[in-house]
Amino acid sequence: SQELEQSPQSLIVQEGKNLTINCTSSKTLYGLYWYKQKYGEGLIFLMMLQKGGEEKSHEKITAKLDEKKQQSSLHITASQPSHAGIYLCGADLSGGGADGLTFGKGTHLIIQP
């Protein structure tokens, strides 16, 4: 079974609308990372959350980590065409930090004009 579940798998949103992507784990999220990937390109770091209840924002994107540190959400306000792409959550599930991240399968976001 997938250790990190992302939902939805794909999302089509009209330009200007808000949207939310979720990332859920059965294990404690010692660190939760959100990345954006444009088709055929590398990963762009968006935000990292570590503390339960933490919330970070950058421009129109807000990420939250729940108090139990098992679920994170990424919220985009007033979506724009530039937000289109694949959003990936990655997690440090071991707490050690060195042995890489576990990733969800990604959410494909399409913005309709």
> Of the two residues 13 and 48, which places its CB atom closer to other proteins in the complex?
48
> Of the two residues 9 and 20, which places its CB atom closer to other proteins in the complex?
9
Among candidates 47, 51, 30, 17, which has minimal Cα distance to 99? 30
Q: How far apart are CA 98 and CA 17, in angstroms?
A: 38
The angle formed by the CA atoms of residues 65, 67 and 73, to the nearest 5 degrees, is 25
CB 29, min distance to other proteins, A: 13
Q: How many CB atoms lie within 10 A of CB 94?
A: 15
> Of the two residues 22 and 102, which places its CB atom closer to other proteins in the complex?
102
> Of the two residues 22 and 31, which places its CB atom closer to other proteins in the complex?
31
CB 113, min distance to other proteins, A: 26
Range list of H helices, the chain:
none
Question: Which residues form the interface with other proteins (CB under 8 A)?
Answer: 4, 6, 31, 33, 35, 40-43, 45, 48, 88, 90, 97-106
